[in-house]
Amino acid sequence: MQPKLFLNEMEEAVFFNALNIEHGTNRRKLTELKNIFGTWKNAWARNSKGERDTDPEKEWAKLEKLGIRLILESNPAYPDLLKKISSAPLGIYYLGHLPSSDNTPSISIVGTRKATDQGKELAREFARVLSKNGIKIVSGLALGIDAESHKGTLEVNGTTLAVLGNGLDDFYPKSNERLAKEILTKGGAIISEYPLNSETFPSHFLERNRIISGLSIGTVVIEAPDRSGSLATANFAVEQNREVFVVPGFPNHPNFKGSNKLIRAGAELVTSPEDILESLNITSNQNNNRKIIFGSSEEEKIFQILEKSGKPVSIDKIIELTKLEAHAANQALSFLAIDGLVLETGDGYIINA
């Protein structure tokens, strides 16, 4: 359900957007203006900078044309967890559906853009299992661990949120534009504190990390090199009194230098998503706890292969492992999909939650 904007709230959002553009999302300056003038409308009217190029109404029309919504910190529908951090964005722009103020937890998964194949698969697996247990996944749409976390969530029809370091008129990086659209199609959200046409400054990605952790009850770090953005996200999580979980790695591998430092500093070491569920006292919903009646031995054989794998398996691999004829395997998969027991993803078939 989308938050409703009443007339005065919409008016405030219109002028906040204009001021956000004028002052380059300078939170300190914007807070100062709000404290002095009381409302964004008054701040716009009385904080003259001479000749202005920004037209509040025209800029608002641009947002509406793109379907981008803006919600201010003062709105009751603003995400509760994010509101509780010391540097909460004064307003957030979003596409899709904001997380509601219900009891559904969110966990962020972050890590290096230059992830190993093993790290990427770990990110997908953590996202899949956590999503199956009713947890929303938050990340930053970047290459590597971020993208794989979003993908893993979508594979099991979970909900995922991506936080960008630029305006929502441009999905960055471009190579993940299709992924961003799939996030929206499947009920997730793309979020930013930056107005349209904002450049992708390196500092923006550091600033957006506080939002990633701020939207989450805990942050999972998978493959964080020394001096990486993932370490910044973990540090923000600590400052926000949120949990930090870290997957350990080889001592001499550069992708784990930051991760292992976090563990030495007191972050919780985890080796599986079940460790996180246990730490958060969330009961795991495992498929092997449900009784399934199969329509044929072929269906059962395929289901067991997929259950054991825990990750998408291609049709060719299924045929190889089950030693079934192609037509028999395809027919069995079709019935399993109809019964809602398996899902077809871009990388193959996987057990449905």
- List strands edge to edge, sheet with 160-163: 69-72, 91-96, 189-192, 160-163, 136-139, 106-111, 218-222, 243-247, 268-269
CATH number, domain 287-351, options 1.10.10.10, 3.40.50.1220, 1.10.340.70, 2.40.50.140: 1.10.10.10
- Which residue blocks in 167-325 are alpha helix, DSSP H? 177-185, 202-214, 229-239, 257-264, 273-279, 297-309, 315-322
| Domain limits, the chain | 7-66, 106-279, 287-351
Q: What is d(CA 234, CA 176) in angstroms, rounded to the nearest whole number?
A: 24
C-alpha torsion 209→211→216→221, nearest 10: 0
Assigned CATH for 106-279: 3.40.50.450
Q: What is d(CA 170, CA 159) in angstroms, rounded to the nearest whole number?
A: 21
Q: How many residues does the chain have?
A: 353
Q: For 184, list phi and psi in degrees, rounded to 5.
A: -70, -40
Domains 106-279 and 287-351 are alike in CATH topology: no
Residue keyed to tokens 């997730």: 188
CB 140 within 8 A of CB 161: no
pLDDT by residue for the chain (353 residues), tens digit each? 445 454 588 899 999 999 999 999 999 999 999 999 999 999 998 875 545 688 999 999 999 999 999 999 988 889 999 999 989 999 999 999 887 655 679 999 999 999 999 899 999 999 999 999 989 999 999 999 999 999 999 999 899 999 999 999 999 888 999 999 999 999 999 999 999 998 878 788 889 999 999 999 999 999 999 888 888 999 999 999 999 999 998 888 888 889 999 999 999 999 999 999 999 888 766 544 455 777 788 888 899 888 887 788 999 999 999 999 998 888 888 888 877 788 888 888 888 76
CB 331 within 8 A of CB 301: no
Residue keyed to tokens 């990390």: 209
